Amino acid sequence: MKANIFIYRCRVFILLLTLFVFLYDSNLSADVDRYTMARDEMVQYQIRKRGIKDQNVLRAMSSVPRHEFVRKGLWKNAYEDRPLPIGYGQTISQPYIVAYMTELLGVDQESRVLEVGTGSGYQAAILAGIVKEVYTVEIVAPLYQRSQTLLERLGYKNIQIKNADGYFGWESQAPFDAIIVTCASDFIPPPLIKQLKKGGVMCIPVGPPFKIQHLILVKKEMNGEITTQIMASVRFVPLVRDSQKQ
């Protein structure tokens, strides 16, 4: 009799366990589907419709899980048409701006790219799916640590991160085919111009903190001449300086 009750309890337990695993699993795949759908819509309505054509950029924007780069409480907002807070007074840029700046760089699978302002690591992840190597510099130590852990967990092998003042670029890895600055500076930092390859481009927001700034496309011609072109009005968090962190 006792043995029967035991077997009965075991069966009920296994049944409940199976039910739990099934519900947990279907919840997970519902989550995956939800974010894949949100991402597809983001690419279609915010990016493709506004004129981004570079297939590599569209593919990267469709595949990088943007929600992973913000805190859980903001996952539901991750694919909206706006920047989001990432802590420490910083933001992850609006998806369209990320796509637009990436397209302006005109990079491919041979390129080595420097990013100033790692922030959440999202822009670096987008670039990593397109280019050969990404070097990214972040001045805020906890953001640097968080992005490094996240990018490692997501399996990115071609991104190197440094906790330093990106005003100075990344001298030992220079020159770069392209440089992207994701914080606004009053002027274009001379070390960045120096670290740009001949024939290379830099995309940088220039202007006063928290006011309207200009997104500038800087080109270093093959003869070393520098040309600049204003591409858009933007609003980025400021590039801050820390001479201790070179």
Contact positions vs ligand SAH (CB under 6 A)? 90-93, 116-117, 119-120, 122-123, 137-140, 143, 165-167, 182-183, 237, 239-241
Element (H, E) at 7: helix 2-41
Spot the catalytic one: 26, 62, 93, 111: 93
| Shortest CB 231 distance to ligand SAH, Å | 17
For residues 27 and 149, which CB has a smaller minimum distance to ligand SAH in the complex? 149
Whichever of 166 and 200 has its CB closer to ligand SAH, that residue is: 166
Between the alpha carbon of residue 120 and those of residues 22, 133, 242, the distances in Å are: 33, 18, 20
**Sequence-distant contacts of 63-69: CB under 8 A, at least 24 apart:** 63/39, 63/129, 64/122, 64/125, 64/126, 64/129, 65/35, 65/39, 65/154, 66/39, 66/42, 66/92, 66/95, 66/122, 67/35, 68/150, 68/154, 69/120, 69/121, 69/122, 69/125, 69/150
Beta bridge partners of 113: 134, 178
Q: Which residue has the tokens 């992005």?
A: 147
Q: Shortest distance, CB of residue 93 to ligand SAH, whole angstroms?
A: 5
User: Based on CB atoms, which residue is closest to ligand SAH, 125 or 217?
Assistant: 125
The residues, any chain, with a CB within 8 Å of residue 97's CB and separated by 6 or more, are: 83, 234
Residue 175 or 238: the one with the smaller Cβ distance to ligand SAH is 238
Which CB sits closer to ligand SAH, 28 or 168? 168
Please report how close the Cβ of residue 181 comes to ligand SAH at its closest, in angstroms.
8
Rounded Cα distance between 126 and 115, Å, is 11
Q: Is omega for the bond preceding 175 within 30 degrees of 0, making it cis?
A: yes
Report the residue number, 231 or 240, with the smaller CB distance to ligand SAH: 240
Beta carbon of residue 198, minimum distance to ligand SAH (angstroms, whole number):
25
- Least distance from ligand SAH to the Cβ atom of residue 191, Å: 11
Based on the residue annotation, tell me whether 172 is a catalytic residue of this protein: no
228, 231, 239 from 108: Cα distances, Å: 22, 21, 27
CA distances from residue 117 to 139, 162, 180 in whole angstroms, order as listed? 7, 10, 9
Q: How far is the CB of 118 from ligand SAH (least distance, A)?
A: 6
Catalytic residue IDs: 93
